[in-house]
């Protein structure tokens, strides 16, 4: 039988207990969900605890003891049950890694709070304080969730992480309905699920090395060899990327292009590394990149917008965005960020279609397009280039905005 903790929370530590709990939750319309995990020394997060709350109480699931999480996975994708999270991205990643599913439909209370006018990117404790005048403890935020037994302080912290989510859900849902924003909030939640459901992109870290936007194709070839190997090795060995090869070492290796062990040993950021093991592989990767025929080298990234000539336009776009946000009673950060505005300028100048980058489409387009287009046409109409008709050009613009 499940043992009961303070405040009525249940500790679930067997497959039988979890299956019985999931059978009960089948009749719920909502489930508040949170996870505790550890990933300091691994590539993938290690699940330490799952917290579930419904209208009747709180359960803490020990995934080290209740290892058959199949019944829970079925619940997390049940279309008739709202899954309530606060800032859900890491929880979705944990469930994808451990259960092979992306929870849906979701109701993210951090996002809902922004749509309801409480502020952008509010932490859970701050939101609960605003809504219910309750102060939550913060003592276990960096706790070891893999140790057993968990302390009383850990159990209390974990239970409180979901204790107020059902009430938060009801209040924010009501406020969003009253403001007429529930539908567009749901659209953004669905977008989060869609993005979390995309296949893992092994090349994403390659595109995120900022300096590479200005590199030659040969240097991009070196970068690709190093970063692709590091990504594959980190996943294979389940180690953080920086444990395999420090991020800071990548641009240094690309710029210095060492070809011997002696040259490699002079790379300061690699001091203390086991170069007898790592060195031959790095030299092999660099040699491969240096010897690749020109036609096999990566295409250059779209150049970042040189903001200086368009600083005034960017400021005008920001002012127009702020006015729309104020008129709508929404945080400006919820509507667009600087990167999206820069991408919009680039797409307008190159006459790319669709004009708005992906993150400004959907419900945002109807809200923002008239004001932003007015600014662009006032400032930049005479500078537009011949229309970019190729799908590759349009994809590159979207990719740069989404990266």
Catalytic residue numbers read 34, 36, 91, 157, 161
Cα–Cα distance for residue pair 305/339, rounded to 1 Å = 10
Sign of the dihedral defined by the CA atoms of residues 9, 14, 18, 20, in that order? negative
Q: What is the dihedral of CA 157, 160, 161, 163, to 10 degrees?
A: 160
DSSP-derived secondary structure letter, 14: S
Which residues are bridge partners to 31 per DSSP?
83
Closest by CA to 168, choosing from 49, 82, 79, is: 82
Cα–Cα distance for residue pair 45/41, rounded to 1 Å = 9
Cα–Cα distance for residue pair 360/283, rounded to 1 Å = 43
Closest by CA to 249, choosing from 263, 274, 267, is: 267
Cα–Cα distance for residue pair 100/26, rounded to 1 Å = 20
- Sheet containing 30-38: which strands, arranged edge to edge? 3-4, 10-12, 57-61, 46-54, 30-38, 82-85, 106-108
Tokens found for residue 374:
């007015």
Which 3 state secondary structure label does DSSP give 58? strand
Tokens found for residue 342:
């820069």
């Amino acid at each position: 039988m499940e043992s009961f903790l303070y405040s009525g929370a249940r500790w679930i530590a067997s497959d039988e207990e979890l299956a019985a709990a999931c059978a009960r939750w089948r009749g719920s319309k909502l489930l508040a969900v949170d996870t505790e995990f550890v990933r300091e020394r691994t590539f993938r997060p290690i699940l330490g605890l799952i917290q579930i709350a419904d209208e009747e109480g709180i359960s803490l699931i020990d995934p080290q003891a209740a290892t058959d999480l199949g019944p829970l996975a079925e619940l997390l994708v049940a279309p008739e049950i709202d899954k309530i999270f606060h800032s859900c991205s890491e929880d979705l990643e944990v469930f994808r890694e451990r259960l092979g599913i992306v929870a849906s439909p979701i109701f993210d209370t951090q996002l809902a709070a922004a749509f309801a006018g409480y502020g952008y990117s509010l932490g859970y404790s701050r939101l609960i304080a605003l809504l219910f005048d309750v102060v939550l403890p913060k003592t276990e935020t960096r706790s070891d969730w893999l140790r057993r037994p968990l302390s009383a302080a850990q159990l209390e912290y974990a239970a409180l992480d979901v204790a107020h989510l059902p009430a938060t859900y009801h209040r924010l849902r009501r406020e969003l309905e009253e403001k007429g924003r529930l539908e567009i909030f749901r659209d953004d939640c669905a977008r989060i699920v869609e993005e979390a459901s995309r296949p893992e992109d092994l090349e994403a870290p390659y595109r995120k090395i900022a300096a590479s936007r200005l590199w030659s194709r040969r240097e991009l070839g070196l970068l690709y060899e190093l970063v692709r190997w590091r990504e594959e090795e980190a996943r294979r060995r389940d180690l953080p990327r920086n444990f395999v090869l420090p991020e800071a070492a990548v641009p240094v290796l690309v710029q210095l292009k060492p070809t011997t062990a002696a040259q490699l040993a002079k790379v300061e950021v690699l001091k203390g590394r086991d170069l007898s093991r790592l060195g031959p592989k790095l030299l092999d990767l660099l040699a491969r990149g240096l010897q690749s025929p020109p036609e096999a080298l990566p295409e250059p990234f779209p150049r970042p917008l040189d903001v200086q000539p368009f600083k005034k336009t960017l400021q005008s776009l920001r002012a127009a965005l702020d006015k729309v946000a104020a008129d709508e009673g929404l945080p400006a950060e919820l509507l667009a960020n600087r990167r999206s505005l820069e991408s919009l300028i680039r797409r307008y100048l190159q006459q790319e279609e669709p004009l708005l980058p992906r993150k400004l489409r959907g419900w945002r387009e109807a809200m923002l397009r008239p004001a932003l287009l007015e600014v662009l046409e006032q400032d930049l109409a005479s500078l537009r280039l011949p229309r970019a008709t190729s799908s590759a050009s349009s994809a590159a613009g979207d990719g740069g905005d989404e990266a």
